[in-house]
Chain A
């Protein structure tokens, strides 16, 4: 079918949130991993920060990223009327 303006808008907003979350994922994984030696100079609650981020901190952020994406997209579906019907 011919996609409407609204459909394109939905897809663009999807791309936007995907891009932002991906950037966050990249930051906590690769940027923080790259600077782990430097981050270890900071100590929080007994943990060197670089170690803590790789052992647990980044994991918490990953879970949050996925939760936020599911939440955001499921609402976006409703907003743009592309959510699945009752029969699904």
Chain B
């Protein structure tokens, strides 16, 4: 009978979301008509972002609940298919939506570590965790640690680890929200952060997991539509047909051929590239000479150099036919001349670094580029290490694992992992192809065109944001060379609609998609943090007799506090987004994965093992990051050349060793706990272990 109602529920959901998708497409068409009627782009941006946030708020409001199981696990009735979509949105963050294709554009093969890591991790989720956690069937991940290993210490460490990795990750998301809102509405970044935050809060505040689930499904639909339309259009635009994911091999070949031409000095195009590179090399050499002069001559050298510039200005002014432009440039150079030795050193070191732009193009499909075999092997080692950390981290991030508590059964949990990866796959399968198509456009159309006739999207983005698109005629030949362009990774996704010649409405749609990606992930993460504190810390450890109303009130209160703290930290703009994301994965991988997997697959694993495992995993991982990540200023030598982002490569084995040693030096777990292990291993045992858990 219950399965009948599940089927009916699925049918009902399918109907709702079909209407919703239709309605959303209608909305996009409506905005497109507004655009044709001449409504300015800024207003269209407001309409898009405002409408979608209201939409999420509406769903959040409709899903408000006062029931504990609905608040924490959406009533455990989310069908596999829809849970898959919700997990997809929960998973794909601003970094995936906006950053991924750009990373692939900039780093070619080596960027694929993210594509592999963020998909292959679901194999571990499916094989090691999802079905067992579903059978266990409580509310949070620390719940499992608490019940399986007994006592409050494993639970407490779990709470701590969940907060550390989710908080690191949520900052990256809120950063993305702020970036998108400020770019498309013109609000200040800090204001954008708090506006976006309001959007996050309305979703999760009233209805907890239930509201978050149904908004995430809605957000997934928007983000996948927003990602696909421009890519397909770009592909058709360049004559590769409507299925770019299959057809882009042809574009890749053309890009590869073009790379060879541009790197070959004997071809006309290659010679022009070379002339630009030579200018960069000369500038770098000049800066280097000045640095050396500063080292030997000290302050005297600075005075001398400044004198030279002033003399030049004077000479220009007294020339027979004064060139106003040259004078202006020379005066600017004098004015910008570094005031003291420290400033000079900083400035010239930066100038010296411009030689990087003189490097030949790295072929897109070439793995592990390096100046020699040794450098290439180090790149390969880091590539594989990063993949492992991202994969294991995927299978340990509490906000993802939590989603598998919400399915009706173990069977559905297994199917749900499949749907999750399938929906995630749609985007990740497309990102490498978008990167290649964008490269094709830049290499074959933009490079070689005239500066007087730049495509509209290039000049538009170059005026909006220099960090995304910086283009200038270095060698003064009036023709664009590849070495004269600097592209910021985020540009690729943001500018694709314009590259493909689509109207602004699609750009608005992409912004809405990016916002959906960032909001949905932030929602899931904030809920995880608040639940760890309200359920595990408050209810399970401080006041086990708290009433339902009180538990939910505490949870909602904490949600607001955590969100505001996270937004505040974000508005300080700490560090590099990609590093924050990577760090979250390494931290989760080192702290949770060994204890969770041993908890299911090793009956003997016990409390001391879990404690030692989690503490040593997390400890090693944090220690390595602290010692080697430049932000902290210690800059200790790397271990086996592994970058700090992959600190998990040391943390994961440390975690497993900790579990094994701790377990073997203390007694086997009680009969009760061993029964719990059987309970999670079999979807249905006749005299099932139930009483002691609840």
List chain A positions with a Cβ less than 8 A from chain B: 1, 3, 7, 10-11, 14, 18, 21-22, 25, 29-30, 33-34, 36-37, 40, 45-48, 50-52, 54-56, 58-60, 62-63, 65-67, 69-70, 73-74, 77, 82-88
State whether B414 touches A51 (Cβ < 8 A).
no
Residue from the list B384, B409, B433, B682 in contact with A88, Cβ < 8 A: B409
State whether B414 touches A25 (Cβ < 8 A).
no
> Taking CB as reference atom, which chain A residue is nearest B408?
A88
Instruction: Give the residues in chain B near A14, CB-CB below 8 Å.
Output: 681
Most central of B3, B253, B684 by chain A CB within 10 Å: B684
Instruction: Give the residues in chain B near A3, CB-CB below 8 Å.
Output: 678
State whether A25 touches B123 (Cβ < 8 A).
yes
> Taking CB as reference atom, which chain B residue is nearest A58?
B116
Residue from the list A21, A51, A55, A56 in contact with B123, Cβ < 8 A: A21
**Does B109 have its Cβ within 8 Å of any Cβ on chain A?**
yes
Most central of B109, B250, B376, B387 by chain A CB within 10 Å: B109
Instruction: Give the residues in chain B near A10, CB-CB below 8 Å.
Output: 682
Instruction: Give the residues in chain B near A69, CB-CB below 8 Å.
Output: 126-127, 414
**Does B648 have its Cβ within 8 Å of any Cβ on chain A?**
no
Type the 1/0 row for B405-437, where 1 means its CB is closer than 8 Å to any CB of A. 000111100110110011001001100110000
Between-chain CB contacts (< 8 Å), 25 pairs? A1-B675, A1-B686, A29-B116, A30-B387, A33-B387, A36-B367, A36-B368, A40-B367, A46-B250, A50-B109, A50-B365, A52-B249, A54-B112, A54-B367, A55-B115, A59-B116, A62-B120, A63-B418, A63-B425, A70-B126, A70-B418, A83-B683, A86-B2, A86-B3, A88-B408
- Whether A62 contacts B367 in the complex (CB less than 8 A), given A36-B109, A87-B2, comes out as no
A25 to B125, CA, bound (A): 12
Q: Which 4 A-B pairs have the closest CB atoms?
A: A46-B249, A55-B432, A70-B414, A36-B367
Instruction: Give the residues in chain B near A30, CB-CB below 8 Å.
Output: 384, 387-388
> Taking CB as reference atom, which chain A residue is nearest B365?
A51
Residue from the list A33, A60, A70 in contact with B417, Cβ < 8 A: A70
A18 to B132, CA, bound (A): 13
Instruction: Give the residues in chain B near A58, CB-CB below 8 Å.
Output: 116, 119-120
Instruction: Give the residues in chain A near B131, CB-CB below 8 Å.
Output: 73
**Does B252 have its Cβ within 8 Å of any Cβ on chain A?**
yes
Instruction: Give the residues in chain B near A83, CB-CB below 8 Å.
Output: 411, 683-684
State whether A21 touches B127 (Cβ < 8 A).
yes
State whether B414 touches A45 (Cβ < 8 A).
no
- Whether A66 contacts B126 in the complex (CB less than 8 A), given A1-B686, A46-B250, A88-B2, comes out as yes
- Known: A25-B123, A51-B367, A82-B685; 14 extra A-B contacts, CB below 8 A, are A7-B682, A21-B127, A22-B123, A25-B124, A33-B383, A33-B387, A36-B109, A54-B116, A66-B123, A66-B417, A69-B126, A83-B683, A84-B410, A88-B684
Instruction: Give the residues in chain A near B433, CB-CB below 8 Å.
Output: 55
**Does B152 have its Cβ within 8 Å of any Cβ on chain A?**
no
State whether A56 touches B252 (Cβ < 8 A).
no
Q: Using C-beta atoms within 8 Å of the partner chain, give the interface range for chain B.
A: 35 or more
State whether B123 touches A65 (Cβ < 8 A).
yes
- Whether A56 contacts B432 in the complex (CB less than 8 A), given A62-B122, A70-B418, A73-B131, comes out as yes
Instruction: Give the residues in chain A near B1, CB-CB below 8 Å.
Output: 86
**Does B470 have its Cβ within 8 Å of any Cβ on chain A?**
no
State whether A33 touches B116 (Cβ < 8 A).
yes
Instruction: Give the residues in chain A near B391, CB-CB below 8 Å.
Output: 29
Would you call the interface of chain B mostly helix, strand, loop, or mixed?
A: helix
Minimum distance in angstroms from B69 CB to a CB of chain A: 15
Minimum distance in angstroms from A41 CB to a CB of chain B: 11
**Does B366 have its Cβ within 8 Å of any Cβ on chain A?**
yes
State whether A82 touches B682 (Cβ < 8 A).
yes
A55 to B409, CA, bound (A): 33
- Whether A70 contacts B415 in the complex (CB less than 8 A), given A22-B127, A47-B249, A82-B682, comes out as yes
Minimum distance in angstroms from A55 CB to a CB of chain B: 4
Minimum distance in angstroms from A56 CB to a CB of chain B: 6
Minimum distance in angstroms from B692 CB to a CB of chain A: 14
Minimum distance in angstroms from B335 CB to a CB of chain A: 49
A21 to B109, CA, bound (A): 26
Instruction: Give the residues in chain A near B124, CB-CB below 8 Å.
Output: 25
**Does B345 have its Cβ within 8 Å of any Cβ on chain A?**
no
A46 to B250, CA, bound (A): 6
**Does B357 have its Cβ within 8 Å of any Cβ on chain A?**
no
**Does B183 have its Cβ within 8 Å of any Cβ on chain A?**
no
Minimum distance in angstroms from B120 CB to a CB of chain A: 5
A45 to B417, CA, bound (A): 31
Type the 1/0 row for B358-377, where 1 means its CB is closer than 8 Å to any CB of A. 00000001111000000010
Instruction: Give the residues in chain B near A47, CB-CB below 8 Å.
Output: 249, 252, 365
- Whether A56 contacts B245 in the complex (CB less than 8 A), given A30-B387, A83-B684, comes out as yes
**Does B380 have its Cβ within 8 Å of any Cβ on chain A?**
yes
Type the 1/0 row for B229-264, where 1 means its CB is closer than 8 Å to any CB of A. 000000000000000010001101100000000000
Instruction: Give the residues in chain A near B418, CB-CB below 8 Å.
Output: 63, 66-67, 70
Residue from the list B120, B128, B365, B684 in contact with A48, Cβ < 8 A: B365
A62 to B122, CA, bound (A): 8
Instruction: Give the residues in chain A near B678, CB-CB below 8 Å.
Output: 1, 3, 7
State whether B366 touches A82 (Cβ < 8 A).
no
A73 to B3, CA, bound (A): 19
Instruction: Give the residues in chain A near B686, CB-CB below 8 Å.
Output: 1
A55 to B432, CA, bound (A): 6
**Does B687 have its Cβ within 8 Å of any Cβ on chain A?**
yes
Minimum distance in angstroms from A64 CB to a CB of chain B: 10
- Whether A84 contacts B122 in the complex (CB less than 8 A), given A33-B384, A66-B418, comes out as no
A22 to B273, CA, bound (A): 47
> Taking CB as reference atom, which chain A residue is nearest B686?
A1
> Taking CB as reference atom, which chain B residue is nearest A32?
B116
State whether A66 touches B421 (Cβ < 8 A).
yes
A74 to B115, CA, bound (A): 29
Name the interface residues of B287-305: CB closer than 8 Å to any CB of A.
none
Type the 1/0 row for B578-610, where 1 means its CB is closer than 8 Å to any CB of A. 000000000000000000000000000000000
A31 to B150, CA, bound (A): 39
State whether A62 touches B421 (Cβ < 8 A).
yes
Residue from the list B2, B414, B684 in contact with A73, Cβ < 8 A: B414
Name the interface residues of B1-58: CB closer than 8 Å to any CB of A.
1-3
> Taking CB as reference atom, which chain A residue is nearest B254?
A46
State whether B414 touches A74 (Cβ < 8 A).
yes
State whether A56 touches B684 (Cβ < 8 A).
no
Instruction: Give the residues in chain B near A65, CB-CB below 8 Å.
Output: 123, 126
Type the 1/0 row for B107-123, where 1 means its CB is closer than 8 Å to any CB of A. 00100100110011011
> Taking CB as reference atom, which chain B residue is nearest A56?
B429
State whether A40 touches B366 (Cβ < 8 A).
yes
Instruction: Give the residues in chain A near B429, CB-CB below 8 Å.
Output: 56, 59-60
A49 to B61, CA, bound (A): 49
A21 to B123, CA, bound (A): 9
